[in-house]
Structure 1
Amino acid sequence: MSATSLATRPAPRWAAFVGITAAVLVVILIASLLFGARSIPFGELWTILSSGPNGGSSDEHTIVWGLRFPRTILAAAAGASLAVAGAFAQSWTRNPLADPGIIGITAGASFVVALFFSFGLVGGIWESLAALIGAAATAAIVIASTQRTHDSLTLILVGVGMTTALTAATTLVALQSSRVYDGMRQWVVGSTVGKDGGDIAIVLTGLVLGLLLAAATARPMDILALGDDVASGLGSSPGTTRALAGVVVVVFAGMATAAVGPIVFVGFAAPHIVRPFTGPTLTRMLIPVAFVGAAVTVAGDILGRLLMRPGELEVSIVLAFVGAPFLILAVAKGMAR
C-alpha cells in the first residue's frame, strides 16, 4: 500500500470508536476506585465521592480520596502520555515497533537519577527533576546526532547505542554505593505507589503541554508521511516537523517517566490497538490512543492490586508480563508479511 493511500484512507467508525474507548476508560477509572486490597461497595463509593476529599474521616473515605484517587489520576495521565508518545515515535521513526524508549528516554532518566542519588539528592522532587533532565538531554543528543540523515534506521541505532551505554553507566554508578543501589532498585520499577501531589502535577503538566504540541504537530507529521518532497511542496518543513515530533515524545514520555518511573509497552501497544479502527493518521489517532493508553495503564494498576493482595504487584511488572507476548505477536505478524 502506498504512502499516499495510507495517509488519506478514511478511518472507519472513528466517532463510534472514540465513544467506546471513552466509555471503557470511565468504567476502568471507576473500577480503580472500587477494587484493591479492600473493596468499596459502589453505593458507598458514590457517597464518598460526593462528600469531597474533606467530607469524611472513615477508613473507606481515606482509602478512596487519600490512596486510590491520586494513583488513578497518576496512572491514567501517565498512560495517556506514554501512548501518544508511542504513536509519535512510531510515526517519527517509521517503525511500528518503536516506543518512547527508542531514543533513550528511559535510560537517560535512569542515569541522571543514579547521579542524583550518588550526590545525596533523594526524594520525590529530586527524582522527578533528575528523570526529566536525563530524558530531555538524551533525546536532544540523539536528535542532534541524526539531523544529517532522514533514515529512520539511523535514529533507532543511535537510540539503541545510547540506551546500551547509559544502562551500563547507570549500573556502574549504582554499584558504587549500597544506598544508591537500593534507591535505584525502587525507582526502576515503575509504580504509582507512594507518589504525591508533586508527581501528579508533573505528569498532568506534561500531558496538557504535550497535547497542545501534539495537536499542532500531528497534521504536519501526516503530511510528512507522504514524503519529504510532497511535504516541502505543501509548505511544510520536514526538518522542523521531525524536531517538533521529537519534542512531543520527550515532553510526554519524559514527564511521565519522571512522575512514575519506567513503564514499558504502553507506548508500543496502544497505537497498535487503535490503528485498525482509526487508520494511521496521527490527527485521528490522537484522542483514542490517549484513552486506550490511560485505560491499559489503570487496568494494569488494578490487576497489580488484585493478583497479590493484601500485597501488590507494580504496574510496570504487570504490563511487562502482558506486553511481552503482544510484542512477540506483532513481530511475528510483521515477519509474516
Structure 2
Amino acid sequence: MATTSEDDAPCDERRRPLVVPGLWLLGALCLLCLASLVIGAGEVGPLASLATLAGHPLGAAAASDEARFVILELRGPRTLIGLAVGAALGVAGALLQTVARNPLAEPGLLGVSAGSAFAIALALVLGASAATLRVSVAQLGALAGCAGVLAAGRLSALGQDPVRLVLTGAVLSGLLGALTSLLLMMDQRAADEIRFWLVGSLAGRRLSDLQAILPSLSLAAVITLSIARPLSALALGERVAVGLGHHPSRVRLLAIAVVALLVGAATAVAGPIAFVGLVVPFAARALAGPDIRRTLWLALLLGPIVVIAADIVARLAVRPSELSLGVITALIGAPVLVAVVRSRRLPSL
C-alpha cells in the first residue's frame, strides 16, 4: 500500500521550478528599489538622484547636499521600511489564508489591521510614546482581532463560507474603526500623532522605526521556518498531519502568533494597509502552486514589490502632494477581491 508523505505533491507542481520566477521577481524588486530612491514628489529629480548615487552630484553644493539628504534621510528609510512592511504583510496574508482555509482571509479585511490601529490609538490616549511600546501594543491588537474573527468562524457556519467570514471581518473592522475615531476625538494630541496610521503611508518614516520592528520580524521569521513544514502537512488533512507527528492545534496557534507579530509590526510603522495580504498570496499561489512553503518564499518578494510599486505611484499621482499608500493598495486589491468572489469556484486551501 502506498504511503502518504507530507512531501508528496502533484507532479506538475514538483516540476515547476521557482528559480526562474524568483529571479524575475528579484530583478523587478531591485529595479523598484532603485526607482524608489530616485523618484519622488519633491524637487530632487531622477537625474540628480542618479548622479548623487553614482557619487557625481550635479549642480551647486547646496543642491548636492539637498539631493543627498533626500536620498539618505527620506527615500532610503522609506524604501527599507517598504521592503519590511511588504514582506510582513505578504507572509501574514499567506499564513492567515492557510490557517483559516479561506482564500479571502486578509489582515485588512478580517479586522486584524483595525485591531492594531485601535490598540495604538488606545495606547496613545493613555500616554504611550515609545516606538517599541507601540509595536507591542499593535501586535496585541492584531492578535485580538485575528482571534476574534477566527473564533466567530468556528462558532458558526462562517468557516465553511469564505464570503460570510469576510463580512464578519468587515463588521469588526467597522466597529474598531468607529472606536478608534471616538478615542481620537477625545484626545487631540493622540489625533495628531496617529493620523498617518489611519491612512497608511511610508512618508516621514525613519530608520529608528525600522529598528523598532526588526526583533518582531526576526522572531516571526524563525517561527515561520519551524511551522512551514507542518502547515504543508495540514493541507493534506488533520489526520495525515497527526499521523506524521504534527500537532495541528499547536501549529495553528503559532501561525496566528506569527500573523499578529507581522501585522502588528507593519501597522505600527506604516498604518493599516489593506489588500496586500490578499493580492500577494493570490499571485504567489498562481506562480508556485498551493504548497505553502513555496508560496511563502515568493510572498517574501511579491509583498515588497506591491508595496514599493504602490508607494511610487502614490508619490507621482498628485505631485507635488502625495496620496496615501492605503488608497493605492485598495485600488490594486479591490479588483482582485471582486475577481476571487465572482469566480465560480473559490480555491480551497
Shorter-chain TM-score bucket reads 0.7 to 0.9
CA positional deviation for 1:131? 2.2
CA positional deviation for 1:280? 0.9
> Which consecutive residues of structure 1, in runs of 5 or more, have no partner in the other structure?
51-55
Q: Contact 1:124–1:195 (CA<8 Å) still a contact in 2?
A: no
Q: Does 1:26 align with 2:34?
A: no
Partner Cα separation in structure 1 for residue 204 and residue 177 of structure 2: 25
Give the corresponding residue for 1:53. Answer: none
Partner Cα separation in structure 2 for residue 336 and residue 133 of structure 1: 31
Q: Contact 1:93–1:153 (CA<8 Å) still a contact in 2?
A: no
Structure 1 SS opposite 2:217: helix
Pairing partner for 1:40 from 22, 46, 49:
46
Partner Cα separation in structure 2 for residue 270 and residue 278 of structure 1: 12
Pairing partner for 1:296 from 306, 313, 320:
306
Q: Contact 1:222–1:282 (CA<8 Å) still a contact in 2?
A: yes
Q: Does 1:163 align with 2:180?
A: no
> Which consecutive residues of structure 2, in runs of 5 or more, have no partner in the other structure?
58-62
Partner Cα separation in structure 2 for residue 197 and residue 140 of structure 1: 31
Q: Does 1:321 align with 2:331?
A: yes
1:184-221: CA deviation from partner (whole Å, max 9, x where unpaired) = 44320111112222311134333332222111111111
Q: Does 1:61 align with 2:68?
A: yes
Query: Which stretch shifts more, 243-252 or 150-159?
Result: 150-159
Pairing partner for 1:220 from 220, 230, 235:
230
Partner Cα separation in structure 2 for residue 232 and residue 125 of structure 1: 38
Give the corresponding residue for 2:205. Answer: 195
Identity %: 33
Q: Contact 2:106–2:277 (CA<8 Å) still a contact in 1?
A: yes
Structure 2 SS opposite 1:152: helix
Aligned CA distance change for structure 1 residues 141 and 324 (closer, same or farther; 3 Å): closer
Q: Contact 1:109–1:131 (CA<8 Å) still a contact in 2?
A: yes
Partner Cα separation in structure 2 for residue 292 and residue 336 of structure 1: 22
Q: Does 1:281 align with 2:291?
A: yes
Aligned length: 330
Alignment-mate amino acid for residue 19 of structure 1? L
Aligned CA distance change for structure 1 residues 153 and 199 (closer, same or farther; 3 Å): farther
Partner Cα separation in structure 1 for residue 245 and residue 158 of structure 2: 22
CA positional deviation for 1:328? 1.3
Pairing partner for 1:89 from 85, 92, 96:
96
Partner Cα separation in structure 1 for residue 258 and residue 142 of structure 2: 12
TM-score by length of 2: 0.83
Q: Contact 1:13–1:277 (CA<8 Å) still a contact in 2?
A: no
Q: Contact 1:34–1:45 (CA<8 Å) still a contact in 2?
A: no
Partner Cα separation in structure 2 for residue 150 and residue 183 of structure 1: 40
Give the corresponding residue for 1:17. Answer: 21
1:153-175: CA deviation from partner (whole Å, max 9, x where unpaired) = 59947755643443332233233
Alignment-mate amino acid for residue 93 of structure 1? A
Structure 2 SS opposite 1:78: helix
Query: Which stretch shifts more, 141-150 or 22-31?
Result: 141-150
Backbone CA RMSD of aligned residues: 3.3
Give the corresponding residue for 1:247. Answer: 257
1:88-145: CA deviation from partner (whole Å, max 9, x where unpaired) = 1111111111112355321211222222232344575554443233223444555677
1:290-330: CA deviation from partner (whole Å, max 9, x where unpaired) = 10110110011111111112211121111112221222122
Aligned CA distance change for structure 1 residues 47 and 136 (closer, same or farther; 3 Å): same
